[in-house]
Amino acid sequence: MAPIKVFINSGGHSAGRGVGVYADNLSKALTKFPEIKQTDKDPDIIHIPYFDLFYPTLPLKKEKPTVVTVHDLTPLVMSDRYPKGVRGTINLLRQWYSLRSVYAIVTDSENSKKDIEKYFMISPEKIFVTPLAVGDSYKVKPSPAEIAEVKNRYNLPDKFVFTISSGPNPNKNLPSLAEVTDRLGIPLVIVGKTMLQEIVQPVEPELIDLVRLQVYNHINILGAIPNEDVNAIFHLASLYVQASYYEGFGIPLLEAMTKGCLIASSNTSSSPEIYHDGAITFNPRSLKSMQKAIEKALRLSPKEKANQIEMAKERAKDFTWAKTANLTLGVYKKVLNSL
């Protein structure tokens, strides 16, 4: 049987981060399957690994059977914090109309699948969950000297809470995490590509949380840093906290689990699909619940901490790009069988 010819058409979106990393890792993993041939020459299937709610990223006219990856619907779930405007509303309607003519939708979690069903009124039979995985760079253990060098370079304290956010996105709940860590008297280190952007007046709605962080003196915002440095910081951090109200998947949480960094996570949206049984969790809309969870994590005995870390590392092994690629291959086969 001839291999399935697939064109993964990312269009260059988010190269080197986010969905760009997803497209690169998926493409790399699919090369291990002889049933797949990746080509842009007369493909059997076009897979678009990028879907934007408010920009026309999905063509109305589809030359070939099309699969699209919809990672999450955060701006719709939290619509009060993501104003669309007239142009955004028009593009949203266009994207929704175009989405209805794809052969299959791939998404990262069962939570996102339910959101796609709800907000776009898409049949669940058309939506397939293919969980993500961490990149190879997080499987490499940095040396003690490399860890010490990163600590010195970024002037990191001996004890701190760590979190990753691509930007001050409302769903990340960063002001609440800042407030709780301030109350507990422990420094907060934040890594994120757009966390250091300049704030100008009038403040854009999506930057309000960045303004709210300015009142705290215990926060060290590092901005965008190499993955190798992030890897080392996971070894230095006392605790990784994912405080999000909503996540389509939450790769940083899985990265922390993989690296053996103690975690505490919000118990909403897709996060319960990732963390291990018995993980330390909290209600992200309750400062009291978050504070209690972080205090519990920081007060664990060495044995209890080691147990939490080991359970998290074992759970993280369930997520691999080989599994993601295999599930995606299954979607391609179902598409072709339906023609």
pLDDT over 80 at 103, yes or no:
yes
Global pTM reads 0.94
Question: Measured between alpha carbons, how far is 272 from 106 in angstroms, rounded to an integer?
Answer: 19
CATH number for position 180: 3.40.50.2000
Residue 206 sits in the same domain as residue 276: yes
More confident residue, 267 or 137: 267
pLDDT over 60 at 14, yes or no:
no
Residue 142 sits in the same domain as residue 245: yes
- 18 pLDDT band (50/70/90 cuts)? low
Residue 97 sits in the same domain as residue 145: no
Residue 104 sits in the same domain as residue 10: yes
Residue 170 sits in the same domain as residue 232: yes
Mean pLDDT of 174-182: 98
Residue 184 sits in the same domain as residue 291: yes
Q: Could you tell me the CA-to-CA distances from 59 to 160, 191, 332 in Å, in that order?
A: 46, 34, 19
Question: Measured between alpha carbons, how far is 45 from 232 in angstroms, rounded to an integer?
Answer: 40
Residue 244 sits in the same domain as residue 279: yes
pLDDT at 207 (0 to 100): 79
Number of domains comprising the chain:
2
Q: Side chain identity at 156, as an amino acid letter?
A: L
Q: Side chain identity at 315, as an amino acid letter?
A: R
144, two tokens: 């003690």
To the nearest whole number, what is the mean pLDDT of the chain? 93
298, two tokens: 């920081």
Residue 173, domain extent? 136-316
Question: Measured between alpha carbons, how far is 307 from 326 in angstroms, rounded to an integer?
Answer: 31
Radius of gyration of the chain (CA): 21
pLDDT tens, 206-246? 778 998 999 999 999 998 999 999 999 999 999 999 999 99
Question: Measured between alpha carbons, how far is 159 from 326 in angstroms, rounded to an integer?
Answer: 40
Indicate the range of 5-14, 62-71, 149-158, 270-279 predicted with least confidence.
Answer: 5-14
pLDDT over 70 at 13, yes or no:
no
Residue 219 sits in the same domain as residue 116: no
User: Residue 101 contacts by C-beta under 8 Å, 6 or more apart in sequence?
Assistant: 60, 62, 66
Residue 236 sits in the same domain as residue 254: yes
